[in-house]
Structure 1
Amino acid sequence: MTSSDELLTVGRLAAEEGCRLLRTAEPGKITVKDDRDFVTDLDLRIQEKVCRFLGSRTPGIGFVGEEAGQHEESDHEQPYRWILDPIDGTSNFIHGIPLCAVSLALVHNGIPVIGIIKAPFLDLEYHASAGHGAFRNDARIKVSHTNSLENAIVSIGDYAVGADAAEKNRQRFAVTTALAGRVERVRMLGSAALDLAWVADGRLDACVSMSNKPWDTAAGVLIARESGAVVTDSDGSAHSLTAEHTIAASPAIAPLLLDLIASAR
């Protein structure tokens, strides 16, 4: 197996391959995947390019991408897998909002060990490997020192669309209401990858996502953890790729935030 440093380098190069397209190409055809959920031709082009690059550099490692048709089912049985969101924040990208990113993680037996998030329109790259800290544009980053909810900026994940959206959003609205009544400000960025990266970077004090899709969260969860953030499910259990929700926060406010979410639910 290639070393962790070598795999991180390959991952960063692969993410940059995707970002070159994201910086310069048009969205192309926009297809409806589900109710108010879209995929562009560029999502597919980036995924294909990154998949091909990683396949040539790390042929023994599986690949799973958000967009259908880009991986084999056997990949799920491999201990090491790359997990890609070619454009995290596709709706933002379609509307010219720069809050979007290429998000790439390497997981081993379901645990993220390498994470890269590149936001080309913000000139930001975040990366981490397990046990070696988190970095923004190669500078070490740490989670914020905020110790009260009243001084916390907290982002919340997108509201649900598609099947059962009304039921799912009842929970999201309740959590939003609880946050609005307690924290300094609530934000919705529209990119789970940037939510987690900005908790890692201290730009946000916490993020709350009432969902957990591996391509959205795997890279950011590792980066947040390596910066010192507490990352859990909403019940306080350790976060995993199979967790129901994704909560990341500075250590001092994590228990306060989890209590607030529990009371809202």
Structure 2
Amino acid sequence: MEKILPIARELAIKAAIKAGKLAKHYFDKDKEISEKEHGDLVTMVDHLAEKEILSEILRHFPNHQIRSEEMGWTGEEGEWLWLVDPLDGTNNYAIGLPIYGVSITLIYNKQPVLGVIYDSHLEDLYIAEKGKGTSRNGVPISEVSTAFKRKGFRGMTVGWIQGHHVQKEARALDLKQKLDLTFKRVLRLWAPSLLWCMLARGDLDGIVLYNSEGDDLYAGILMAKEAGATVVDFSGNNFEGMNPEPYIIACNPKYIDDFLSLIGVPPGSRQHFNENIR
């Protein structure tokens, strides 16, 4: 692993920046938009950016498996897996909202070890490596907010992420409303990777994620953890590895119990909550 990670880091950085600049170039041009399931969108740029990233990965690591947003799975299962979202925030991008990015994750034995997120419009580069911290444009960041500056728990700004397939599920709507009624502001950016970067740099106090296991997820989680956030499931267990149906809370460690209480899970029943929610 020690030999692979430095090469992987450099190629992921190169590929993310190249894909991000491509997206920014086409931002105010014809994007050839089409619709996928659940009202999700895809553009010509998704495919062009994906091609750039995948060709870079395959040139260096032809035997690695890849799961990418548009092309799906390629390669045979092994120790190494790349997750690629070439244009996270396509729905924003399609309507001219400049909140979109690139997310590349390297997984080793089902554990994220490298995450690269590029905020394409602002040209900000975020890198997280397991055990080595998170950086923004080469400067280390560990600014997960302690929230006192926002006048306590109810003064927080919190991010909300839900899977496209969740749609208007009653339990999700109830939880989102509870967050809206509790916190100063609840953001749903439709570009989850950028929400994770906001948490890592201290501009967001927490994230609540409801059943959203996209190709952008694990880079974001690694970014937040390496910047000092605690990431747990709705039962209060540390979130590790990969999960096809994740329910997650991420925030400063001192507020985990407050978040868990907010979602309605008494301490004595937390170990059962994730089984009951489905």
Structure 1 residue 133: Cα displacement:
0.5
Structure 1 residue 263: Cα displacement:
4.8
Instruction: Determine the C-alpha separation between the residues in 2 that align with 1:241 and 1:215.
Output: 11
Q: Do 1:82 and 1:107's aligned partners in 2 also have CA atoms closer than 8 Å?
A: yes
Residue 244 (structure 1) aligns with: 246
Residue 191 (structure 1) aligns with: 191
Q: Percent identity?
A: 27
Alignment map for 1:1-265 (pairs within 5 Å):
2-25=3-26, 26=29, 28-68=31-71, 70-72=72-74, 74-75=75-76, 77-142=77-142, 143-146=144-147, 148-158=152-162, 161=164, 165-166=167-168, 168=169, 170-239=170-239, 240-242=241-243, 243-263=245-265
Instruction: Determine the C-alpha separation between the residues in 2 that align with 1:172 and 1:61.
Output: 36
Q: Do 1:234 and 1:262's aligned partners in 2 also have CA atoms closer than 8 Å?
A: no
Q: Summarize deviations over 1:145-185 as a string: whole Å, max 9, x none.
A: 22542231101125x655x633x2x1222112221222222
Instruction: Determine the C-alpha separation between the residues in 2 that align with 1:3 and 1:32.
Output: 37
Structure 1 residue 101: Cα displacement:
0.6
Q: Residue type matched to 1:149 in 2?
A: F
Q: Do 2:31 and 2:94's aligned partners in 1 also have CA atoms closer than 8 Å?
A: no
> TM-score, normalised on structure 1?
0.90
Instruction: Determine the C-alpha separation between the residues in 2 that align with 1:182 and 1:110.
Output: 35
- Alignment partner of 2:84: what SS? strand
Structure 1 residue 204: Cα displacement:
0.2
Q: Do 1:206 and 1:249's aligned partners in 2 also have CA atoms closer than 8 Å?
A: yes
| Unmatched runs of 5 consecutive residues or more in structure 2 | 267-276
Instruction: Determine the C-alpha separation between the residues in 1 that align with 2:231 and 2:81.
Output: 21
Aligned length: 258
Instruction: Determine the C-alpha separation between the residues in 1 that align with 2:141 and 2:130.
Output: 14
| Unmatched runs of 5 consecutive residues or more in structure 1 | none
Structure 1 residue 55: Cα displacement:
0.7
Q: Residue type matched to 1:157 in 2?
A: I
Cα-Cα RMSD = 2.0
